[in-house]
Amino acid sequence: MKTFTSLLDVMMKILLITFLLFPETILGEHRVVCPTLVEAVEGDAVTLGGSLSPPLNLTPYTLDLKRLDLRDDVVHVYRHGQDHFPPQSHHYRGRTTLIHEDLIGGTVTLHISSVNLSDSGLYEVYVPDLKARCEFYLTVERKANRTKRNDFSTSGPPVGEETKSDHRGDGENRKTARAVILPSLLLLGTLLVLVLVLMRGEIKSCIERLRGRKEQEPETAGNGCEMKNLNMEAAKGDEDLERAAGNGNILL
């Protein structure tokens, strides 16, 4: 008896944990997950639908695909393992294909061929027995617009990209110019400083020589005058001696 009670207690705990983690499994609640927006080009085929969560074989269930913005216009109906076309709107007649194989895995896949602009609107996938549904919007673009866009994209990059690339090129050119000019200026300035330092001693010596020459010019002039006077006095003394010798005044 205690063993049975313990086993029952363990089972209740497992059920409780499963209910907390996956409440839809215990309660039987399901939901259909589908994209919120589907895009297509005029004249192409488009795929609509969704997936059941948690997955369940939808083969024995009823499926309704409707157009909500056109007073619940019926797009496609599936009953008792077969497609039912009588309730289908004439607008979609002969253009829809439901993939039955995907229903086994809980996925609704509906192909609509040759979509046109009037197919744009709000759609719904509904499983009545499970009360599971999802809504999404289909937008159909004109083929001429897509062709123009493709031609524009293949003819060349957008103007914005060209502008960015041009600006990027200008920036790189400026950086390159700076990288060349700045080192050149620094090198030129360094060479100029070295030349000035090396020539400083020579310039200083030249200035000192010029100053020395200016100071020596008066002295040289004065020495020349004194020598001239001495020469004149010596010549005069020689003349006096010669006169005295002629007159016999000099005694030997």
pLDDT at 210 over 80: no
Q: Return the H-helix or E-strand segment holding 16.
A: helix 2-21
Residue indicated by tokens 């914005």: 160
Phi/psi at 213 (5° precision)? -65, -40
pLDDT at 45 over 80: yes
Residue indicated by tokens 């499963």: 18
Q: Which two tokens stand for residue 77?
A: 């109906």
Residue 14: predicted pLDDT: 64
Other Cβ atoms closer than 10 A to 44: 14
**pLDDT higher at 188 or 69:** 69
Distance, CA of 23 to CA of 161 (rounded, Å): 51
Q: Hey, what CATH topology would domain 26-143 get?
A: Immunoglobulin-like (2.60.40)
Which residues face 64 on adjacent strands? 77, 126
Give 113-147 pLDDT, tens digit per residue. Answer: 999 999 999 999 999 999 999 999 999 999 887 66
Q: What is the pTM of this model?
A: 0.50
Give 224-244 pLDDT, tens digit per residue. Answer: 555 555 566 666 666 665 665
Distance, CA of 192 to CA of 198 (rounded, Å): 10
- Do the bridges between strand 107-112 and strand 31-33 make them parallel or antiparallel, or are there none, so unpaired? unpaired
> Residue 217 — very low, low, confident or very high, per pLDDT cuts 50/70/90?
low
> Residue 25 — very low, low, confident or very high, per pLDDT cuts 50/70/90?
very low
pLDDT at 187 over 90: no
